[in-house]
Amino acid sequence: MTALVAYTRGIIETVIFFTSILLHEAFHILISACFGFEIKSFGIGAFGFKFGCEALPPSGLRGSLIYLAGPLANLSLAFLTGFINYYAEMPMSQFIIFYNLILFAVNMIPAYPMDAARALTSALSKYMGNLKAVRIVSTLSYMVSALLFTAGVIAALTNGNLVLAMLSVVIALNTKKEKSFSVMNYLKNIKI
């Protein structure tokens, strides 16, 4: 994703986009650490960076806060930049606001692998267990994928833009992977 921004938008916007992604992940890590989770891995994922904890985040409010920390950090930076820019003009503020709002909006799509889907799964799993929560959120995720694919086909036919169609495929593939992972964890933890 960063390479696409670099190719189409230039180095300054790429640095802003890359920094916004780092901020997003830093807040996931910060909130995870506040709740006592040790970070075991950090790497590059489909939409930027990703990190792994020693265990799955807890269900309920703490797990949801871990997943929502990144998007909320992006939203906060966008508003803070807008506020500062209102009183003292900041160069490139429009790009900081734009990329952080985009990261917030995309991560608030309730579909895997976005943070909103993981936060919803975490909230639901406290009441119904992880497997059932993943199944419910997966259904929602497939519905979002179908809507995005439909919108993507329309966009491709009208202006040649394939982004929504490609995003729908990523969501469908990640939803399938999330369901499989959930079933495997469930089977692994059954006591015989």
Over the stretch 135-158, which tens digit does the pLDDT of each residue have? Answer: 999 999 999 999 999 999 999 999
The residues pairing with 105 across neighbouring beta strands, listed in sequence order, are: none
Provide the pLDDT for residue 110.
95
Question: Is the distance from CB of 74 to CB of 17 less than 8 angstroms?
Answer: no
Provide the pLDDT for residue 183.
79
H or E element at residue 64? helix 61-87
Task: Give 120 or 13, the one with higher predicted confidence.
Answer: 120
pTM, 2 dp: 0.82
Cα–Cα distance, 176 to 134 (Å, whole number)? 10
Distances (CA, A) of 182 to 7, 122, 138, 152: 37, 12, 11, 29
